[in-house]
Structure 1
Amino acid sequence: MDPFSLKNKVILITGASSGIGRSCSVECSKRGANLILVGRNHNELMITVSLLAPGTKAEIIAADITQTENLEAMIADKVADLGKISGFIHCAGIEKTLPLKKHSPALYRDIFEINVIAGFEIAKILSLKKYKDETSSFVFIASAAGLVGEPGKAAYSASKGAVISGVRSLAMELCRNNIRVNSISPAMVNTPILEKMFEEIGEEASSEIIRKHPLGIGNPEDVANACIFLLSDASKWVTGTNMVVDGGYSAQ
């Protein structure tokens, strides 16, 4: 039996409408998982569904996950359709690079609401016996910015540092429920957001960013494959850890 298989597992993925979340959705489907895909944009979620491996059962939740009042009811509906949750990937997040003088309380709140609070709230829901499989694995997408200082990223780095440290406490608490909890910290990954940023900052600054990644800029699949390991039985003795997947960025 393939320990990396996700066959018969139901995985809930936030941020599934683009970037790393979309890639995680596609790669998990190739490993046999059925999926609950969560994102704000219904049309983009449907594009993700169209990319999934043939035969994948998928349900979508088009909603703002920072508005948590109806979140449990929406998840309960999908669990009734697909079955109990075996895995959860929190990919949804926002990134802002601004000088400290332009940081505001509202900016901190916006970033923490989606990057930290929404993910932990969903973990709380999915840890309930009525929604979870016998064993479950939760994976939070953090960032190398939560480990290494970067100018202009005080709010973003703080939010990802909160994810990394919060995951350790979740792991210690939820192990009694047979739930493993880990985080993954990528550096720059080749997504539409990165392409837009490179256009804005110009060739020289973009080259400098690429130079800081000894193995080059990553692809979303590099992060998705790490998620598959943490969701699968191959990692059944791994919890409370932060897996760095950054092409050597933070080793310098």
Structure 2
Amino acid sequence: MNSFSLKNKTILITGASSGIGRSCSVECSKNGADLILIARNEQELAKTVSLLDSASKVETIIADITNCENLENLIEEKVAILGKISGFIHCAGLEKTLPFKKHSAQLFNDIFAVNVVSGFEIAKILSLKKYKTETSSFVFIASVAGIVGEKGKLAYSASKGAVISGVRSIAMELAKSNVRVNSISPAMINTPILEKMFENIGDEASQEIIKQHPLGIGEPEDVANACVFLLSDASKWITGSNLVVDGGYSVG
């Protein structure tokens, strides 16, 4: 038996319409999982679905996870179709780079709502016996910004630090329910968001950022493959951990 396989597992993924969330959807599908995908952008989510392995069953939820009163009902409907959930990846995220003096209370609220609160709220739902399989695994996408300091990213860094520390507490509490809970901290990943940032800061500054990653800028599948590992039975003795996937960024 392949311990890394996700066959016969149903995985719920937020932020599945682009970037790391899309790549996680594709890689989980390649490894045999059925999927419940959540995103706000219906058109982009449909594009993700078109990239999945034809053998995977997939259900989609178009919703704003920060403002969706009936999210549990929507999840319950999909569980009734695909079966109980074995894994959860919280990929939905919001990033804003601004000087400290321009950070507002609203900015903190907006970023924490997506990056922290919504993920923990969904995990709370999925930890209920009626929605989860006997053993399950939750993975939260954090960031190296939650470990090391980065200029202009106070709210973002603070939110990702909250994810990393929160995961430890949830892991301790849910261990008795056979739920493993871990986070993954990527550095710069080659996504449309990064491309846009490089366009804004210019070539010289972009090259400087690239040099900070000894193994170069990462690809979304580098993070997705780490997620597959943490969702699989191959990682059945890992919980409360933060897996750094950063091409050596945090070493320097």
Query: What residue in structure 2 maps to residue 5 of structure 1?
Result: 5
Deviation at 1:101, TM superposition (A): 1.1
Query: What residue in structure 1 maps to residue 243 of structure 2?
Result: 243
Name the SS of the counterpart of 1:21 in structure 2.
Answer: helix
Query: What residue in structure 1 maps to residue 22 of structure 2?
Result: 22
1:68-147 matched pairs, under 5 angstroms: 68-147=68-147
Query: Does 1:45 pair with 2:74?
Result: no
Count matched residues.
252
Deviation at 1:55, TM superposition (A): 1.4
One-letter amino acid of the structure 1 residue matched with residue 80 of structure 2 = A
Q: Residue by residue, what CA displacement relative to the aligned partner does 1:87-127 show, whole Å, maximum 9, x if unpaired?
A: 00000000011001110000000000000000000000000
CA distance in 1, matches of 2:59, 2:46: 10
Q: Is the 8 A contact 1:139 1:227 kept in 2?
A: yes
Task: Flag as ranges the 4+ runs of structure 1 deviating above 2 A.
Answer: none
Name the SS of the counterpart of 2:59 in structure 1.
Answer: strand
Deviation at 1:240, TM superposition (A): 0.2
Query: What residue in structure 2 maps to residue 207 of structure 1?
Result: 207
Root-mean-square deviation (CA), in Å?
Answer: 0.4
CA distance in 1, matches of 2:44, 2:8: 25
Deviation at 1:38, TM superposition (A): 0.4
One-letter amino acid of the structure 2 residue matched with residue 76 of structure 1 = E
One-letter amino acid of the structure 2 residue matched with residue 47 of structure 1 = K
Deviation at 1:69, TM superposition (A): 1.3
Deviation at 1:68, TM superposition (A): 3.8
CA distance in 1, matches of 2:151, 2:49: 37
Q: Residue by residue, what CA displacement relative to the aligned partner does 1:138-165 show, whole Å, maximum 9, x if unpaired?
A: 0000000000000000000000000000
One-letter amino acid of the structure 2 residue matched with residue 58 of structure 1 = V
Q: Residue by residue, what CA displacement relative to the aligned partner does 1:173-232 show, whole Å, maximum 9, x if unpaired?
A: 000110000000000000011001100100000000000000000000000000000000
Instruction: Give the percent of matched residue pairs that are identical in Structure 1 and Structure 2.
Output: 77
CA distance in 1, matches of 2:70, 2:177: 24
Query: What residue in structure 1 maps to residue 33 of structure 2?
Result: 33
CA distance in 1, matches of 2:68, 2:85: 19
CA distance in 1, matches of 2:16, 2:69: 21
Q: Normalized against structure 2, the TM-score is what?
A: 0.99
Q: Is the 8 A contact 1:14 1:38 kept in 2?
A: yes
Which runs of no fewer than 5 residues in structure 1 stay unpaired?
Answer: none
